[in-house]
């Protein structure tokens, strides 16, 4: 009896060991010196760019996969890292990079990118270089801009607003003339756009003066000014309040029930999937300003190509990341297929930028406008190390505020408290 139990126990323990140890690693390198790299990226048409690399580099093969986009990919990367089977290369939005560095998911590639970084200006590099260490090669910059429907603006006699006061007035005018069309949509689903608006409004959610202590100012006066402005529009009923990238929102976009979309420079590539009927009906204008003639804007997204700490071929992975974002051929293919506005200085003078994105055939000077706006885009001093908590706080608290008509300013207080509590729990010094 007893020996049987012991045997069964031994067998089980053996089985557990076998299954437990079998998981990690994953062979990324095939025999014969050929290196295989996996690349996680959610850009539409990125496969065309990766094909160019694979044809030119027979000894380093990159396999593209798209397991999730944006914030969801960040969760997946952290989970995959804990299981030891992350990809070699991954697209990471700037706002998530410090969190991934802090979780030790993304590797320091300073030694492989000494030449690459020369192709970027300091403002761009600030998003991927912390404390002198490079954690990713910037892919694109995405200044926040005002995308508007030229046909709707013409029909109701509106002009692209240049200040937020004008925007509010235009929203009210439009609402009076066409109650079924909202000026824009206030979105509680994607934190990226509101942080962009906060940046434009002068907020600095995370900063540090001594490189040791964090200052967290999510509920600062500047943030509340922006929140109160939007609360006013929501209360007046002149803007819609559905989650973006939802079936409801897609349909409203496609059927012309939303006159504008405040979005990043990458919007044209996305609009094709969201609102296919609206090709050629959009144009872009600079984001309305808080005070007339102030050119400051914020950013929504913008990404870096990173190498993970799980990669056994960091040098080759970094080589691909550098190629993807600085090689003229690669950047041209990205502009053409993904409509990125490149982060690399050399990429910004490529001839391809003189033709508009496919979805905006009516606006020949599209990239000229982006180019004009890009230098005055303002980010936070730094993104926090637990930005995921802040962002899930935004979706939940602002979602609830929209649902129950409660105060946006109080929601900001809640997010501030949750973020600081989490940072302290993890052991960060918060001043």
Partner 1 sequence: MAARNRAKLPYLLVAPAVALLTLFVVAPGVYALVLSFQARKVVGGLLGGGSKLVFVGFDNYGLALADPELWSSIARMLLVALLFIPATVGFALLFALLLDVPRVRLARSTRLAIFLPYAVPGVIASLMWGFMYLPATSPIGGDHVDFFGSTTVFFSVANVAVWGSVGFNMIVIFTALRSLPAELYEAARIDGCSELRMALRIKVPLVLPAIAMCTLFTALASLQLFNEPNTLRPLSNAVSSTWVPLMKIYEDAFVDSDVNKAAATSVLFVFAALAVSFVASRTVSRVNR
> Whole-number minimum distance, CB 394 to partner 1, in Å?
11
Helix (H, G, I), strand (E, B) or coil at 307: strand
Dihedral angle computed from the Cα positions of residues 132, 113, 138 and 52, in that order, rounded to the nearest 10 degrees = -170
* Residue of 115, 121, 236, 218 whose CA lies nearest to 173: 236
Query: Which structure tokens are listed for 369?
Result: 């406008």
CA–CA gap between residue 20 and residue 17 (Å, rounded): 5
* Residue of 52, 43, 42, 141 whose CA lies nearest to 323: 52
CA–CA gap between residue 399 and residue 429 (Å, rounded): 30
Cβ closest to partner 1, residue 123 vs residue 208:
208
Helix (H, G, I), strand (E, B) or coil at 305: strand
Query: Which structure tokens are listed for 103?
Result: 């979780």
Cβ closest to partner 1, residue 191 vs residue 301:
191
The set of residues, in sequence order, having a beta carbon less than 8 Å from that of 398 and lying 6+ positions away, is 188, 194, 408, 411
What is the H or E stretch that residue 372 is in? helix 366-373
Cβ closest to partner 1, residue 211 vs residue 291:
211
> Whole-number minimum distance, CB 4 to partner 1, in Å?
6
Query: Which structure tokens are listed for 45?
Result: 């048409």
β-strand partners of 351: none
Calculate the alpha carbon distances from 158 to 97, 150, 166, 281 in Å.
Answer: 40, 9, 10, 15
> With contact defined as beta carbons under 8 Å apart, do 304 and 139 qualify?
yes
Helix (H, G, I), strand (E, B) or coil at 29: strand
CA–CA gap between residue 63 and residue 60 (Å, rounded): 10
> With contact defined as beta carbons under 8 Å apart, do 373 and 295 qualify?
yes
β-strand partners of 179: none
> Whole-number minimum distance, CB 321 to partner 1, in Å?
20
CA–CA gap between residue 77 and residue 149 (Å, rounded): 37
Calculate the alpha carbon distances from 79 to 82, 85, 119, 202, 380 in Å.
Answer: 5, 9, 33, 34, 27
> With contact defined as beta carbons under 8 Å apart, do 59 and 53 qualify?
no
Binding site for partner 1 (CB under 8 A): 4, 8, 11-12, 15-16, 19, 71, 75, 78-79, 82, 98, 101-104, 130-131, 188-189, 208, 211-212, 214, 241-243, 245-248, 251-252, 382, 385-386, 388-389, 392, 395-396, 399-400, 402-404, 422, 425-428
Q: What are the two backbone dihedrals, phi and then psi, of residue 195, each rounded to the nearest 5 degrees?
A: -65, -35
> Whole-number minimum distance, CB 340 to partner 1, in Å?
25
């Amino acid at each position: 009896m007893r020996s049987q139990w012991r045997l069964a126990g031994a067998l089980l323990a053996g089985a557990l060991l076998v299954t437990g140890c079998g998981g990690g690693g994953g062979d990324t390198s095939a025999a014969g010196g050929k290196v295989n790299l996996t690349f996680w990226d959610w850009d539409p048409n990125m496969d065309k760019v990766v094909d160019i690399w694979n044809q030119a580099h027979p000894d380093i093969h990159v396999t593209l996969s798209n397991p999730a986009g944006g914030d969801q990919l960040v969760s997946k990367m952290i989970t995959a890292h804990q299981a030891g089977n992350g990809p070699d290369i991954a697209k990471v939005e700037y706002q998530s990079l410090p969190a991934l560095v802090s979780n030790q998911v993304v590797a320091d590639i300073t030694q492989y990118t000494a030449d690459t970084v020369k192709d970027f200006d300091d403002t761009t590099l600030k998003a991927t270089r912390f404390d002198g260490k490079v954690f990713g090669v910037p892919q694109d910059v995405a200044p926040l801009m005002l995308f508007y429907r030229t046909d709707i603006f013409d029909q109701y006699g509106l002009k692209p607003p240049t200040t937020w006061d004008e925007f509010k007035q235009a929203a009210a005018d439009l609402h009076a003339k066409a109650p079924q069309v909202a000026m824009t949509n206030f979105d509680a689903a994607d934190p990226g756009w509101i942080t962009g608006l906060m940046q434009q409004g002068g907020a600095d959610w995370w900063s540090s003066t001594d490189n040791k202590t964090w200052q967290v100012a999510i509920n600062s006066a500047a943030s509340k000014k922006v929140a109160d402005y939007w609360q006013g529009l929501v209360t007046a009923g002149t803007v819609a309040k559905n989650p973006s990238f939802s079936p409801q929102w897609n349909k409203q976009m496609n059927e012309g029930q939303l006159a504008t979309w405040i979005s990043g420079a990458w919007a044209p590539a996305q609009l094709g999937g969201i609102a296919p009927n609206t090709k050629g009906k959009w144009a872009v204008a600079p984001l309305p300003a808080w005070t007339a003639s102030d050119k400051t804007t914020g950013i929504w997204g913008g990404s870096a190509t990173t190498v993970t700490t799980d990669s056994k071929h960091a040098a080759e992975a970094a080589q691909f990341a550098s190629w993807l974002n600085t090689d003229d051929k690669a950047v041209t293919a990205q502009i053409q297929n993904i409509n990125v506005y490149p982060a690399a200085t050399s990429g910004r003078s490529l001839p391809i930028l003189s033709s508009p994105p496919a979805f905006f055939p009516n606006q020949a000077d599209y990239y000229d406008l982006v180019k004009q706006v890009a230098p005055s885009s303002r980010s936070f001093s730094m993104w926090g190390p637990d930005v995921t908590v802040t962002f899930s706080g935004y979706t939940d608290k602002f979602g609830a505020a929209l649902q129950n008509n409660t105060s946006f300013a109080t929601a900001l207080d809640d997010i501030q408290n949750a973020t600081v509590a989490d940072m302290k729990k993890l052991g960060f010094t918060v001043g």
